[in-house]
């Protein structure tokens, strides 16, 4: 789960990470009022779940009330398109008005969970700012990485080594170390998956300030972090994924036209690969999980059908914990209840497979049966093209 910049800053500030003063605004009038509270030059920032907002016109430095009002009018209600949002963009419904900072130097600082090493890894660069992606690609040697031993956690000496590695002045080290340690504690204590500050700036007054902040959290740990779960903004999420997750389904929306209903993450990935191999494009990843009751199968169909680009549906179930007759009954019930007109390809294997196939064959529905995954993928691609 991702959160907005202002939310991330509020959380990080509680762990001792220095931030600039700011306030939230939902209208141009509120934006000018917030700016008057701060005084002086301010920065108007669109709040969306995406980076590269500055390049897309979502961050503007304003010196007068007219500039603030114009910037707010321009951003609010607009879909901001960045290289991270895709062509659809994300709707701007709130702004963060922040006092301007006298920047002397920008640094990149990030904390991520590295699954390969099973460690929290700190990633830092002396060159922060909007071009960090290009810098990491063209100058990978400038990126500093520090792995944190989970048995002891991040130590002060590691933060100091990181600060010296970034080449900051000795007088800044003692201010940078608490900021680094605060980010680590927030990552650890809030079950985060990513904490990123880009840029972490050193001001001309020799202060350290987190000028931007992004945080994402482990969805599986939200049950024990209700104050984090409350920060979720569904308007920033793919509506297909939101609908599915609210019903306990593992769903990831894609750009194709073949809807997929599969049990098991590994089999779902293999199904996507087979569709691609057959010349088609999957519309989604959907894992219905272990206890695939007929009701759960129907919910899965509803989730897939919310994507208007879907032209065919492929159901691929290898039953172990599941039973093929349950899944087959769910398919039949869903087609009848939802009055589905799209072509449906069903491949069943495993527990009670014969009973499942009989239910499909005796249903009187025009459901396409397949023996193998390769055959199912081929038939789904052909059906989608005809549709």
Enzyme catalytic residues: 108, 196
- For residue 99, say whether it is annotated as part of any ligand binding site: no
- For residue 32, say whether it is annotated as part of any ligand binding site: no
DSSP string, 6-51: HHHHHHHHTTT--B--EEEESSHHHHHHHHHHH-SSEEEEE--S-S
DSSP state of 201: E
Please give, one letter per residue, the 3-state secondary structure of 45-83: EECCCCCCCCCCCCEEEECCHHHHHHHHHHHCCCEECCC
DSSP string, 205-270: TS-EEE---EEEE-GGGGGG-HHHHTT--GGGS-HHHHHHHTTT-EEEE-SSSEEEEESSHHHHHH
- For residue 45, say whether it is annotated as part of any ligand binding site: yes
What is the distance of C-alpha 161 from the center of its chain?
A: 31
Closest CA to 192 of 8, 382, 385: 8
Closest CA to 359 of 294, 295, 311, 301: 294
- For residue 106, say whether it is annotated as part of any ligand binding site: yes
Give, for 356, the enclosing helix (H) or strand (E): helix 353-361
- For residue 358, say whether it is annotated as part of any ligand binding site: no
Backbone angles phi, psi at 379, to 5 degrees: -70, -35
| Coil, helix or strand at residue 125 | strand
Q: Specify binding-site residues for Mg(2+).
A: 198, 212
Annotated binding site for substrate: 263
User: From the annotation, which residues make up the binding site for ATP?
Assistant: 45, 98, 101, 106
Which residues belong to the annotated binding site?
A: 45, 98, 101, 106, 198, 212, 263
């Amino acid at each position: 789960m991702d959160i907005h910049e202002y939310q991330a800053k509020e959380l990080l500030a509680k762990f001792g990470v220095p931030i600039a003063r700011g306030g939230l605004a939902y209208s141009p009038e509120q934006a000018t009022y917030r700016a008057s509270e701060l005084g002086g030059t301010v920065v108007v920032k669109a709040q969306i779940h995406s980076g590269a907002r500055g390049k897309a016109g979502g961050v503007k430095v304003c010196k007068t009330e007219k500039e603030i009002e114009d910037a707010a009018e321009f951003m609010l209600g607009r879909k901001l398109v960045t290289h991270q949002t895709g062509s659809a963009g994300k709707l701007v419904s709130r702004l963060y008005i922040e006092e301007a900072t006298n920047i002397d130097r920008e640094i990149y600082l990030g904390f991520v969970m590295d699954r390969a090493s099973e460690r929290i890894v700190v990633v830092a660069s002396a060159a922060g700012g909007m071009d960090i992606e290009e810098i990491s690609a063209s100058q990978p040697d400038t990126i500093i990485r520090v792995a944190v031993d989970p048995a002891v956690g991040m130590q002060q000496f590691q933060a100091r080594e990181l600060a010296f590695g970034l080449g900051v002045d000795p007088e800044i080290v003692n201010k940078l170390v608490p900021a680094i340690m605060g980010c680590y504690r927030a990552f650890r204590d809030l079950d985060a998956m990513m904490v990123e500050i880009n840029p972490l700036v050193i001001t001309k007054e020799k202060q350290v300030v987190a000028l931007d902040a992004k945080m994402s959290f482990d969805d599986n740990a939200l049950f024990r972090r209700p104050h984090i779960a409350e920060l979720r903004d569904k308007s920033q999420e793919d509506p297909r994924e939101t609908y599915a997750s609210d019903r306990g389904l593992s769903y990831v929306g894609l750009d194709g036209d073949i809807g997929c209903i599969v049990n098991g993450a590994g089999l779902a990935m293999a199904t996507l690969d087979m569709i691609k191999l057959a010349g088609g494009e999957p519309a989604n990843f959907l894992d219905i999980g272990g206890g695939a009751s007929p009701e759960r199968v129907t919910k899965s169909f509803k989730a897939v059908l919310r994507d208007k680009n879907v032209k065919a549906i492929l159901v691929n179930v290898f039953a172990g914990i599941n039973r093929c007759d349950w899944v087959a009954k769910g398919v039949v019930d869903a087609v009848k209840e939802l009055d589905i007109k799209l072509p449906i390809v069903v491949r069943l294997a495993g527990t009670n497979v014969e009973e499942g196939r009989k239910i499909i064959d005796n249903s009187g529905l025009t459901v396409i049966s397949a023996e193998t995954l390769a055959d199912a993928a081929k038939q789904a691609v052909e059906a989608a093209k005809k549709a």
